[in-house]
Amino acid sequence: MALPPARRRALVAALLSSCFLAGTAAAAPAAPATVAVVARELPQAFAAEATVEAVKQATVGAQATGRVVELAVKAGDAVRAGQLIARIDAREADQAVAASLSQVAEAEANLANAKRVHERNRELVAQKFVSQAALDQSEASYKAAQAQVAALKAAAGQAATQRSFATVVAPFAGVVGATHVEAGDLATAGREIATVFVPGDLRVTATLPQAALARWKRELPVAVELPVLNRTVTAVRATVVPIADTRTHTVKVRLDLPAAEGLLPGQFARARFPTGTVRALAVPPSALLRRGEVTAVYVLDKDGRALLRQVRTGDTLVDPKDGAVVEILSGLAAGERIAANPVAAGLGAAP
């Protein structure tokens, strides 16, 4: 039997409502994972900005003047020790070498003649045909010719060395970090050609004020934050450069790093030098919700509801067990629980 239209509409509405409620119950979010807010003893540290650099790095430059006729490498190329990097026009140096060799040949001919004259005078002196003064004169000329040959050979060697400067080669095996000229540029003595470094063997150099250097507990490890890799590593070794800057009164500290794939010289880092311990409330950085200048967390009340609450944070410290944690200065109390994933907790708390 057909139902009246009003009755049929009421029945359809009731069915849709029951389906909606069932779907809502099935999709109800699970309780969010939480983190307990507790006070803990944390190492206190002085944070210093640092720069990643290669332990072994060299910038090769020109030692001769001339046009760059060939640039054999580009940034990122791997090179062997002695491999060609650039070639400079060597025509002027070739002419200098040729001129030096000609002067050596002339001096050697004069030396041979002076030797014959001296030997002849020695025989004539024995036969009483020339005086002892003539022999002394020929001996002096002979020795002067020998010195002239030695001087010109040294000059020829110097010209050959200058000629070799027209070829710029890699000082060691590594990677070309940058090139500073292009083919056709004019190279002058001292102009940089390319920078070569050994990848994998890296360190960071940080600048410490004298007060922080005095408070640094050197027996404790130094943590180095690498934002580009989103990780924190422990320095293998710390070396204080034994000279202070006279203008800023700061000291440089070099921190050798463990192998870290993806790290490049010149990148930013932050070194944390331990200065003692502090008892503080701290939470994982992932539990913080940052929006502009506002930092907040989702706090779970006694009914399990996630409520947004603004907090004031301090330094990022390193817990020996949990790794990096953020100090909470205000907004939370010990014993409270916060959502481990604030984004998921916020979606669950949304109406």
Condensed to tens digits (0 to 9), the pLDDT of residues 269-323 reads: 999 898 888 888 988 888 899 888 889 999 998 888 888 999 999 877 777 677 7
CA distances in angstroms from 143 to 115, 133, 134, 258, 344, listed in the order given? 9, 15, 14, 63, 95
Residue 9 has pLDDT above 60, yes or no: no
Give the Cα separation of 319 and 322 in Å (integer).
5
* Average pLDDT rounded to a whole number, residues 135-147: 89
Q: How far apart are the C-alpha atoms of 67 and 89, rounded to whole Å?
A: 5
Gap between the Cα atoms of 20 and 18, Å rounded? 5
* pLDDT value, residue 26: 40
Nearest Cα residue to 48 out of 222, 273, 324? 273
Distance (Å) of CA 283 to CA 155, 240, 327, 334: 73, 33, 7, 11
CA distance 88 to 50: 37
Secondary structure class of 298 (helix, strand, coil): strand
**Tens of pLDDT along 220-277?**
889 898 988 888 889 999 999 999 999 999 999 999 999 888 888 999 999 989 888 8
pLDDT confidence band for 6 (50 / 70 / 90): low
Residue spans of alpha helices (H) in 49-131: 91-126
Compute the 3-state secondary structure of the chain and give helix, strand, coil in percent, each to the nearest 5: 30, 40, 30
Confidence class for position 2, pLDDT limits 50, 70, 90: low
